[in-house]
Amino acid sequence: MKKTASVICLAAWVALGTGAAQSAPSALFAAGPAPTEKIIEDIDRFLTAWHRAAEVADEEAYFGSLAAGAIFLGTDVHERWTKEEFQAWAAPHFKKSSAWTFTASRRRVYLSADGNTAWFDEDLLSKSYWPCRGSGVLEKAGGSWRIRQYNLAFTIPNEATAAIKPLVEAALRKQGRQGE
């Protein structure tokens, strides 16, 4: 009997070590994706819709996706806005047929243990710029996700920094913001 139990334990240990048991969690959720996967899919749809709202100049949907007190960090050194400041700055853009267009080509989403906070990073394609990057923090309140902070960043290949540095320094001097 001891020998049989040892063989069963050994077989289970080998199965776990080889990944044979890794299909078990999906069997537990055969009716649909695992809860974490579903939340991440919901967040992905939410962020895609948020970017789409800017593309079609839907100001209400775009800014409605930002939490009260949200912070938006733009690409320029002085672009750190509260939700209200950002909305005031962006208002003229949302009067056009499209405010701006960013489409995620890659996105990674991570969840807190309680599932009410998420953070993400995304690579963005842009009609106006070269590839950019966004990252942010989401909060779930009242059953809905809202953006607490978003950071839009220009990506610059390392090989291009030497050529771009003088342009950046000149622009900062012009603004009287040297060394920022």
Q: Is residue 47 domain-shared with residue 15, that is, in the same domain?
A: no
Q: Is residue 62 domain-shared with residue 139, that is, in the same domain?
A: yes
Give the Cα separation of 108 and 141 in Å (integer).
21
Tens digit of each residue's pLDDT (9 = 90 or more) over 86-108:
999 999 999 999 999 999 999 99
Between 178 and 77, the higher pLDDT residue: 77
Q: Is the pLDDT assigned to residue 18 strictly greater than 60?
A: no
SS3 126: strand
Count: domains in the chain: 2
Supply the range of the domain harboring residue 4: 1-32
Give the predicted TM-score (pTM) of the model: 0.77
Q: Provide the edge-to-edge strand list for the sheet that holds 132-141.
A: 80-82, 66-73, 144-154, 132-141, 117-126, 102-111
Q: Is residue 19 domain-shared with residue 89, that is, in the same domain?
A: no
The pLDDT > 70 percentage for the chain reads: 78
